[in-house]
Structure 1
Amino acid sequence: MKDKDAFVHPTALVETQDLGEGTSVWAYAHVMAGARVGRNCNIGDHCFVESGAVIGDNVTLKNGNMVWEGVTLEDEVFVGPHVFFTNDRYPRSRRGGSPDMPPIEKTCWLVPTRVKRGASLGAGVTAVAGVTVGEYALVAAGAVVTKDVAPHALVKGSPARWHRWVCRCGHPLDFTQSVATCSECGLRFEKKGQGITLL
């Protein structure tokens, strides 16, 4: 049910009945029926959220984002301006069929993409269909994500590659040994296998 405490700008179009308490939808944004948007989210100007997209609590969508069916943004995700999600690896225009192309079922082309809790995507990131961005990962502006991103990883470039580890607060971690303490918030992490864990 659409929460009466949500704010919807007069120029926004919100068709979903699943808009959480405290969420704000700003100018010229469109949230389709069947999209799910959690509590305390901020959906910026000119955003589009398609039916079947799932947005958790405390998510920030900066201006100009398109969140398609099959995309899940977990709680506390930050999406910078003009991030590009995709949901089809081999797109074609005609889904209903034509004399030279038979109909294609959604199950044959829809590829889920997930951005996990606390992760951030910088401005202009492209996330190819089917990737998972791990918890508290940070994807640098303009990166092209073609494969899964590990939790707490900072990735950058095209294609996006691991650069270093980051804290839950987003600041870089300096692993001079097997343990690092965040200089910003004081959380401590340990290298474990191919990743890091909170101590």
Structure 2
Amino acid sequence: MPIAEDVELHRDARVHHPELVNLYGCRIGAGTRIGTFVEIQRGVEIGANCKIQSHSFVCTGVTIEDAVFVGHGVMFTNDRVPAATNSDGRLQAAGDWTCRETHVGRGASIGSGATILPVVIGEGACIAAGSVVTRSVEPFALVAGVPARVIGDMRERRSAGEGGGP
């Protein structure tokens, strides 16, 4: 079942192709739009009026505030030291690792193909397409690269007539 019964999907949220997503145990706010081939895992909270574009993966431990744009193919992670097995060779189970959290502030934008490690992304920040975010991002910062580094301020760009958002 692509949308599990335990999903809290606001009546004004839209999943464009419900048969082509994997949503379970998450909460999705009013006006939010979910694209095809998106997975949103248990415990994720997505605010109102967000866009989650196709082929994105939002894992347990992620909170996304209102008015956030998540581009195509964005990957969130929740483990800074991933491993398949423990030191004794046994496959890791739920209790063998620590889920790290990510928080995305109101009005932030994450470009297509970005990878987001467990961090805080500030309000109004912009992550350039293809970036790998390994450190927290200040509010309204524009970051790009691998690893992502600050290259500008979104308030300056918006006052110059570039870009949208709050």
Whether TM-score is above 0.5 comes out as yes
State whether structure 2 residue 20 is matched by structure 1 residue 20: no
**Per residue, is there more helix in 1 or in 2?**
2
The match for 1:172 among 150, 157, 161 is: 157
Partner of 2:112: 123
Secondary structure in 1 aligned to 2:147?
A: coil
| Greater relative contact order (CA < 8 Å, ≥ 6 in sequence) | 2
Partner of 2:142: 154
Structure 1 residues 47 and 105, CA, compared in 2 at 3 Å: closer, same or farther? closer
CA RMSD of aligned residues (A): 2.3
In structure 2, C-alpha distance between the alignment counterparts of 1:103 and 1:161, rounded to whole Å: 33
The match for 1:143 among 131, 135, 152 is: 131
Residue 165 of structure 1 and its aligned partner are, at CA, apart by 0.5
Moved over 3 A (4+): 97-108
**Alignment-mate amino acid for residue 183 of structure 1:** A
| Rg comparison, structure with higher value | 1
Matches within 5 A, 1:173-188: 182-184=159-161
In structure 2, C-alpha distance between the alignment counterparts of 1:106 and 1:23, rounded to whole Å: 34
Residue 21 of structure 1 and its aligned partner are, at CA, apart by 2.4
In structure 1, C-alpha distance between the alignment counterparts of 2:82 and 2:44, rounded to whole Å: 18
The match for 1:53 among 19, 40, 44 is: 44
- Structure 2 unaligned residues grouped into runs of 5+: none
Structure 1 residues 105 and 64, CA, compared in 2 at 3 Å: closer, same or farther? closer
- Structure 1 unaligned residues grouped into runs of 5+: 1-11, 174-181, 186-199
Aligned 8 A contact 2:30 2:47 in 1: yes
Which digits, 9 at most, give the CA deviation of each residue in 1:145-199, with x for residues without a partner? Answer: 00010100100111101111113xxx716xxxxxxxx1339xxxxxxxxxxxxxx
Residue 107 of structure 1 and its aligned partner are, at CA, apart by 8.1
The match for 2:81 among 82, 86, 90 is: 90
What TM-score does the superposition give when structure 1 sets the normalisation length? 0.73
Structure 1 residues 102 and 159, CA, compared in 2 at 3 Å: closer, same or farther? closer
Secondary structure in 2 aligned to 1:14?
A: coil
Secondary structure in 2 aligned to 1:164?
A: strand
Aligned 8 A contact 1:60 1:78 in 2: yes
* Number of corresponding residues: 159
Residue 124 of structure 1 and its aligned partner are, at CA, apart by 0.5
